[in-house]
Homo-oligomer: A and B are copies of this chain.
């Protein structure tokens, strides 16, 4: 593994361990065992290193979503599997989740990162479209419906990551909120997922 990859790996671990503030270039360099300015041999600046972390994780999502697409699940269960992957990642790695889905600087990077991010979103959009064709989701504009589902789950994850889901009891979990959403928007009288039967 080259120094660049090792720096990304170390930054990723520091994000998990101490949040974004813990990812100083000096700490990253020390974790890899190089001098404090060696990162500049591999990345333009701190933002570019964080973008490297985001790109790696987005590409992992693309792979996961490809696997789901090729699986034998029903259309609505593919939607659920994709959301579940997002939720598991978001709950296990809140700082990295925010880097990918909330950080304003990351959204402006472009290049490989943007390609991977768009591929992930397009794959999810395809799951929604297929579930609509199967009559398991309402026949609205696919882009609008995809955006709403995605935003709702993102909101639940972000409120959780931001510590806003503790005091107001009954707020329940991200998984429960997502499940409720899918039930509420399901077309009346249509088939539900296999889990509900």
Contact = CB atoms under 8 A, between A and B. Distances in A.
This chain: copies in complex? 2
A159 interface: yes
Interface stretch (A22-30, A59-67, A175-183): A175-183
Nearest to A124: B168
A18 to B, nearest CB: 12
A118 interface: yes
A3 interface: no
A171 B143 contact: yes
A107 interface: yes
Given A151-B155, A155-B158, A156-B155, A169 B143 contact: yes
Interface stretch (A48-56, A72-80, A134-142): A134-142
Given A102-B102, A125-B168, A151-B177, 18 more contacts: A101-B159, A102-B164, A118-B168, A121-B168, A138-B184, A144-B170, A144-B172, A144-B180, A148-B152, A150-B155, A150-B159, A151-B155, A151-B156, A152-B181, A153-B155, A155-B155, A184-B184, A188-B188
Interface of A: 19, 101-104, 107-108, 114, 118, 121, 125, 138, 140-148, 150-156, 158-159, 161-172, 176-177, 180-181, 184-185, 188
